[in-house]
Structure 1
Amino acid sequence: MAAAAPAAAALHGLRTASAAVPVPQACMEGKPLMDTRILVSDLCRQFYSLDGASGTGGSITMKVRGVSIPKPDKLFAMSHSSIRKERMLPEDTFVLSANGSILSSPSPKPYPDKPPTFTDWSPLFIKLQAESYHYLFDAALKLRQPTMGLSIRKKHRFIHSEKPIEVKGTKTPVQTGSSNSDYPNAHLPRCVVLDIEGTTTPISFVTEVLFPYARDNVGRHLDLTYGTPETIDDIKLLRAQVEEDLVKGIAGAVPIPPDEAGKEEVIASVVSNVDAMIKADRKITALKQMQGHIWRTGFDSKELEGVVFDDVPEALEKWHSLGIKVYIYSSGSRLAQRLIFGNTNHGDLRKYLCGYFDTAVGNKRETQSYGEIFESLGVDKPSDVLFITDVHQEATAAKDAGLEVVVSVRPGNAPLPQNHGFKTITSFLEVW
């Protein structure tokens, strides 16, 4: 009974170094393991290119096959779930023992890649390995059938590439799909990136609801959360921004004293700076991060509800059904973006969104920011991405980066310059 304990623990998600069974070094350094890690990374990239995986979502686990590996020492290679699938390399895989213990972990990569993450589903992958192999083998056979109906390809939207899947270690490429005529949506972009204020959401909601709520509640928020790691980080970031503002002579900036000055004095100075920044509509990370944390309280308490234009949910559902990936790019923090779309007047719309970008990738009026977004999305060329915004300077920056651009004309938006040269819409339903 005691011998079964480590395996039982692994199947319940418990992974400890002490539970690991010693594995011969020859198995860890052998060709079978290396070939499997190469195969896992290749499959991750291929599934992403065929729209079968999105960004960092999902993970692939494979059992290492080889006569040199005894059954008691069987190994598994697993992709880590924080790296973008199109960037996966063999060294970006965990190596697991039969009981789910981690024998080898990927090395962390520089920013913007996240630290390696071990998926909580790993015990299930190991337990159900036979069923997984059977399913994948059956799917592979169906993909090879030239008479496979369009209905199956529509059900599995990622099966639409004209390019064969070439996996290292195999001699025969797997051809998917048959002709471009099967896919009438080939002219559509692969990704849509949306602005929020004035595009998905009325400007008045931001200026008359969100901003006043943050301004009126910053003191209460800081008083309730003072000393927590999150608020300590918020104040640290804001203090650094204010020091920079003071050097530049930015109006409204007042020094934030050190923590030793006391809670009340620190909070008072933070409140003063936040108020000035909101009035000036500053698009800076320090402000947006703190606003997001304040708004979270409002959304959690139902004091706040996100607002989107009535055409937005229908358009998002339509684009989702067409296999188009939709992302948000806003000067508001990613937390704030998730809060708005997770709590709208039309319900939770996050199921239609694949990711969020904020000013961490750059200013929205700078061309380089859109180049960063393009590189992150893993598409072949910038024109595979459509950006929709209400701001002419943002539209110009995105166009200069090679993205397709449409300008949103909504009630309350600022007028566009004459002869701006962009296609305009008053509803997302006019895009296609």
Structure 2
Amino acid sequence: MFPYARDNVRKHLTSTFDSEETKEDIKLLRNQIEDDLRNGIVGAAPVPPDEAGKEAVIKSLVTNVESMIKADRKITSLKQLQGHIWRTGFEKKELQGVVFKDVPEALKNWHASGIKVYIYSSGSREAQRLLFGNTTYGDLRKFLCGYFDTTTGNKRETRSYFEISQSLGVDNPSQILFITDVFQEAVAAKNAGFEVIISIRPGNAPLPENHGFRTIKSFSEI
């Protein structure tokens, strides 16, 4: 999905430039880029004013977005734009959500047992709904209760998990089990009082020795 977003940034911005949705996307990107320039972020390049013309603005935005994608930045402005590009891909049947083969059965079983399942992803909530609604196993959204994204906070910051526990209304954060494949996210969630399991999947970054977390290789182990 990420290569699709990268390869279609220019096409998407060009075809939707005058829509209210894309105007809002561009506004968010401009704000982020201005902040990046102030902080000396590598790859950030000034975006000319609208008076410079559509092509000049789009050219600069594409340069910045490609740099953000290359750096795998978890920022709302990028994730919102990617979600809108992916929506077009799903609508055109050019994209399909891919999940590990143990996921659909686990979601079905948890749902049948009355366990509420939520998604917390750096991808926008819209992108999450698109992915789980268009998987190779069909529409899995019926097994999910809600979605959280970077508008809640960075996934590597403890306060984000405090926000989630408040939103879910649990009496104690330990009532929430958080499953992740990223060590730093596991630490942040644990510091917020969550129960945490690290899912070992192909392509994962190696875990530190003596990390102290329970690990699994399939959701069927939970």
> How high is the TM-score relative to the length of structure 2?
0.99
RMSD: 0.7
Measured in 1, the distance between the counterparts of 2:139 and 2:47 equals: 38
Secondary structure of 1:271's counterpart equals helix
Secondary structure of 1:356's counterpart equals strand
The percent identity for this pair of structures is 73
Q: Residue in 2 aligned with 1:194?
A: none
Q: Residue in 1 aligned with 2:187?
A: 396
Alignment match of 2:148 (pick from 348, 357, 367)? 357
- Per-residue CA deviations over 1:54-84 (Å, capped at 9, x if unaligned) read xxxxxxxxxxxxxxxxxxxxxxxxxxxxxxx
Q: Residue in 2 aligned with 1:318?
A: 109
1:29-428 equivalent positions in 2, closer than 5 A: 210-428=1-219
Measured in 2, the distance between the counterparts of 1:339 and 1:395 equals: 25
Displacement after TM superposition at 1:276 (Å) = 0.5
Secondary structure of 1:359's counterpart equals coil
- Per-residue CA deviations over 1:189-231 (Å, capped at 9, x if unaligned) read xxxxxxxxxxxxxxxxxxxxx1211111011101110111000
Q: Which 4+ runs in 1 deviate beyond 4 A?
A: none
Secondary structure of 1:251's counterpart equals coil
Measured in 1, the distance between the counterparts of 2:49 and 2:147 equals: 33
- Write the letter of the residue equivalent to 1:292: G
Measured in 1, the distance between the counterparts of 2:21 and 2:100 equals: 32
Secondary structure of 1:412's counterpart equals coil
Displacement after TM superposition at 1:411 (Å) = 1.3
- Structure of larger gyration radius: 1
Measured in 1, the distance between the counterparts of 2:34 and 2:170 equals: 40
Secondary structure of 2:8's counterpart equals helix
Measured in 2, the distance between the counterparts of 1:259 and 1:351 equals: 43
- Write the letter of the residue equivalent to 1:382: P
- Per-residue CA deviations over 1:352-403 (Å, capped at 9, x if unaligned) read 0110000111111111100000000012110110000011110011011011
- Write the letter of the residue equivalent to 2:180: T
- Per-residue CA deviations over 1:230-249 (Å, capped at 9, x if unaligned) read 00000000000000111111
Aligned length: 222
Which ranges in structure 2 are unaligned for 5 or more consecutive residues?
Answer: none
- Per-residue CA deviations over 1:285-324 (Å, capped at 9, x if unaligned) read 0100000000110011110000000100000000001101
Secondary structure of 1:424's counterpart equals strand
